[in-house]
């Protein structure tokens, strides 16, 4: 695995893979699966996804694919989603800029239907754009 720097989110690893984060709104919402939250079905937050990507990937393309597949398999949630009685749709999704020395990608992720899984999309930004 690669060494990385983090704050709440993973920031950069020893290979120069870098991630910048912005919370954003969505029309879906999900919650973490814990024993005290019977309404939660998801296991991966953006904090988890960025740190795992920085540990395992040397390229932005690898990071985007890995974060997307983990989010779908284990379910994505935002720590800022509120509760089922007071959902916070304004802060329930995440957007990331994911860059290595060769490529830049924009990655977006939201919780999937019925508070489970995830829906994600990524786009490579062309050089010079």
Predicted confidence (pLDDT) per residue in 53-102, tens digit: 999 999 999 999 999 999 999 999 999 998 889 999 999 999 999 999 99
pLDDT surpassing 90 at residue 40: no
Residues 6+ positions from 38 with CB-CB distance below 8 Å: none
Q: What is the pTM of this model?
A: 0.94
Backbone angles phi, psi at 90, to 5 degrees: -65, -20
Give the whole-angstrom CA distance, residue 12 versus residue 38.
Answer: 35
Secondary structure letter of residue 97 according to DSSP: E
């Amino acid at each position: 695995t690669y060494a990385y720097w983090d704050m709440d989110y993973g920031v950069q690893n020893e290979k120069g893979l870098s991630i910048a984060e912005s919370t954003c709104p969505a029309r879906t919402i999900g919650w973490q699966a814990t024993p005290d939250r019977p309404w939660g079905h998801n296991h991966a937050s953006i904090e988890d996804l960025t740190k795992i990507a920085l540990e395992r990937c040397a390229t932005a393309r690898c990071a985007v694919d890995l974060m997307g597949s983990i989010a779908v398999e284990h379910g994505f949630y935002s720590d800022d989603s509120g509760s089922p009685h007071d959902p916070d749709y304004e802060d329930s999704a995440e957007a990331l800029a994911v860059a290595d020395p060769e490529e830049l990608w924009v990655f977006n992720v939201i919780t999937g239907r019925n508070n489970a899984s995830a829906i994600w999309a990524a786009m490579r930004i062309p050089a010079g754009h």
